Structure 1
Amino acid sequence: MNTERIYKVLLGPHVSEKSAASAELGNQVVFKVLPSASKLEIKNAVEKLFKVDVLGVRTVNVKGKVKRNRFGLSKKSNWKKAYVSLAQGQDIDFAVAE
């Protein structure tokens, strides 16, 4: 896998109530990823960037919502998120320590 691609696959963590619950119960982390990213690319990127062992990756294509504005209806773009299962006892901390 290309080293430049590793830094482009993961767009950032996805923080929500559902992702927090899956982190507590299933030792999972949720990321927003490129729509063209494969499960193997996501796994390799997480393992190399955060130095953790990944057990599995599940991906979801999220449909963009239709919103109303003063010009009529507009559609938000579709995006992809990945549920990454980590090995027992491992964790990714996104808090910035100063």
Structure 2
Amino acid sequence: MATSSFFDRVYDVVAQIPAGRVATYGDIAEAVGQRSAARTVGWALKAAVDSGLPCHRVVNRHGALTGKRHFPSPTFMEECLRSEGVTFTDDGRVDLEQHRWTPEGLR
């Protein structure tokens, strides 16, 4: 898999995530045809944090904000999501039942 091409496909999917919704690393990996590449999706997003893409809308499969350390502050990701109306469970994870978005064709 060519890294830049893979990263570009990841960015195309992330750009589609609507405000108030989140996708998982695995959802994005599956959407770009590399189901087992969720970790590589994380690397792509780390490289794009300052790009203007809504990287804050990507969470792990449990709804945890595992990428938060790559943003300007440890609370930045949560603050952005809350400002878009995303709700969290009592244990601090995104309520995936309410806010999970999957790319067209995955449901």
Point out the structure with max Rg over C-alpha: 1
Identify the TM-score tier after normalising by the shorter chain.
0.3 to 0.5
TM-score by length of 1: 0.38
TM-score by length of 2: 0.35
Q: Which protein is richer in helix relative to its size?
A: 2
Q: Which protein is richer in strand relative to its size?
A: 1
